[in-house]
A and B are shown apart, each in its own frame.
Chain A
């Protein structure tokens, strides 16, 4: 059996997998849509951008610096759509407690208090402070407002921004997206590989295929090629969807992302093969799958940083390969880091791939 024939056979197998997948409409759509929904849902729920957030500016100052500041806030609009982030209302002579009651009543998401000596102090180059009140119950919007104000004031120099409560986190979405991609690729590669094999066992087609001159290696290689293409395609679709829908910014190298995902997919495929070798039909596969992949979903820090979980949970997370894939994806996609920064992750993921793949090939028998 030459390498050429093996490769040819594996492409036949891969093509067949794609053809069958394309006819499982009930599977294809969620396969691509589910992670997107997850990002939009969580992204808007806990992070994301804001539109037309009502803001009150209490300006007790009449100088040039304050009117410049007020103008800039009023004119600012979001990056990815034409809608302004804030809808600004102006007033003066309002106490902080009165402003707080307006926020309590839900009329404003934020109130900026400009003291009467603001412009004077700026002109004299003295330090001065502004007070920003935000709606602490809406973590998303308040986080964005605070961040925006910080950026704005950074240009002005010696202004201290007084923020009574800082909530929310503009980076949640950026934090979430790489994790969702890793999770999606992991769950997807394990579940689609394993369930396809279990299904082929159930309807006898796997045995039938292994009765032909095609080698076991070619069958596995074909399924792997199919998975690599499928999972990389899902990751790309997901990254673009995150960009278009929630304004996710991709900072790192696509090539390094592909490398991480290829290695991780190999591990997932291996794991799917190992798991399917333990079952005789699809239903038992999905039960096993639930047991094996569920902990990964909740323990590995897809949705929250591992630094914020109790120790015992962190130790479990360190035993799960998904943790390292998420770590690598975040390092590349958010921080724009390169191979050096993720070398430990890559080594662990490669080991995972080698172990599951070797075991999978070993357990994937010709004997039905």
Chain B
């Protein structure tokens, strides 16, 4: 299998108010082209921080990341057009309409105008937002915002999608829309990397699951092997097996 993301000895240390936080601590892994790769782990495990480094938003303290063969450190401007990001923190302009938010994203990714309008109409309908296209997103529900964020990140036809907790706080209907989109984009050949706190979601969608805890990657395999090797009935038990019962700060 061909790796599309290569991570070697990745470390990220934050210094905040005199305290040193090692958010990511010597992590190495590959993501294969065309797979759905899930990351699970307790709060503060370092999932979002890893995402931020993979998506060129922040620089690693040390270690090497290659995305589509490009080095995040030196070729970040080659990587950014190839990836589509749905951040953990929803980020839409509340005083722009759904369509305007999408157009802004499309423009920032330099999507040609005629292609863009067609895509926007198509995707708005796909996620059931066509009737709300000209409403300000400030008044949207969490589910509407999340659906919009997901399609905003795919207008430029990226090879790799990064979704950070795409279904947190969503109702079952919206969650099932998100799952459908995940499968659809994956069928189109896109690689999907996402994080989740819902074990059945990881079990259902992922080709492989990585378990992170306290900055370390403590396990990485397909859901079936993870269950087998730990003697677990489901991913919930796998999670507890690797990360324990203790509540994190």
Which residue numbers of A lie inside 8 Å of B, CB to CB? 1, 5, 8-9, 12, 16, 19-20, 23-24, 203-205, 207-215, 366-368
Q: Assess whether B107 is in contact with A207, with CB atoms less than 8 Å apart.
A: no
Complex alpha-carbon distance, A19 and B104, angstroms: 11
A12-B104, A213-B110 given; A24·B80 CB < 8 A? no
A12 touches B95 (CB 8 A): no
Q: Contact: B85 with A211, CB < 8 Å?
A: yes
A199 to chain B, nearest CB (A): 10
- Take A207-B57, A213-B81 as given contacts and tell me if A12 and B108 are in contact as well, using a CB distance cutoff of 8 Å: yes
Between A and B, 17 residue pairs with Cβ closer than 8 Å are A5-B110, A8-B110, A9-B108, A19-B100, A20-B95, A24-B95, A203-B91, A204-B89, A208-B85, A210-B57, A211-B55, A211-B87, A213-B80, A213-B81, A367-B57, A367-B59, A368-B57
Q: Are A208 and B87 in contact (CB under 8 A)?
A: yes
Taking A20-B95, A210-B57 as given, write out 15 further A-B residue pairs in contact, using a Cβ cutoff of 8 Å, ordered by the A residue number. Answer: A5-B110, A16-B104, A19-B96, A23-B95, A203-B91, A203-B93, A209-B108, A211-B55, A211-B85, A213-B80, A213-B110, A215-B77, A366-B58, A367-B57, A368-B57
Pair A16/B96 contact, Cβ less than 8 Å: yes
Q: How many residues of B contact A (CB 8 A)?
A: 26
Residue in chain B with minimal CB distance to A212 = B108
- Contact residues in B for A368 (Cβ distance below 8 Å): 57-58
B91 A207 Cβ-Cβ under 8 A: yes
Q: A203-B91, A204-B87, A205-B91 are in contact. Are A212 and B80 (CB under 8 A)?
A: yes
Judge whether A204 and B108 touch: CB under 8 Å: no
Label chain B's interface by main secondary structure.
loop
Of A205, A211, A212, A367, which contacts B93 at CB under 8 A? A205
Interface residue? B90 (CB, 8 A): yes
Among candidates B87, B93, B94, residue contacting A16 with C-beta atoms closer than 8 Å: B93
Cα distance A24–B138 when bound, in Å?
13
Q: Determine chain A's interface SS by DSSP, over half rule.
A: helix
User: Per a CB cutoff under 8 Å, which of A19, A208, A367 touches B58?
Assistant: A367
- With an 8 A cutoff between CB atoms, is B92 at the interface? yes
Q: For the complex, what is the distance from the CA of A48 to the CA of B56, rounded to whole Å?
A: 59
Pick the contact of A20 from B77, B80, B96 — CB < 8 Å?
B96
- Taking the closest CB of chain A, its distance from the CB of B92, in whole angstroms, is 7
CA gap between A366 and B94 in the complex, in Å: 22
Measured between beta carbons, the chain A residues less than 8 angstroms from B29 are none
Q: Are B57 and A213 in contact (CB under 8 A)?
A: no
Most-contacted residue by chain B among A203, A208, A214 (CB, 10 A) = A208
The 3 closest A-B pairs by CB, nearest first: A204-B91, A208-B91, A212-B108
Query: Which residue, B59, B92, B100, B110, has most C-beta atoms of chain A within 10 A?
Result: B110
Pairwise interchain contact B89-A213, C-beta atoms closer than 8 A: no
Residues of chain A contacted by B109 (CB below 8 angstroms) = 212-213
> In whole angstroms, how far apart are the Cα atoms of A9 and B92 in the complex?
18
Nearest CB on A from B51, distance (A): 10
CB atoms of B80 and A211 under 8 A apart: yes
Residues of B within 8 A of A207 (CB): 57, 87, 89, 91
Q: Which residues 67-109 of B sit at the A interface, judged by CB distance below 8 A?
A: 77, 80-81, 85, 87, 89-96, 100, 104-105, 107-109
- Chain A residue at smallest Cβ distance from B105: A212
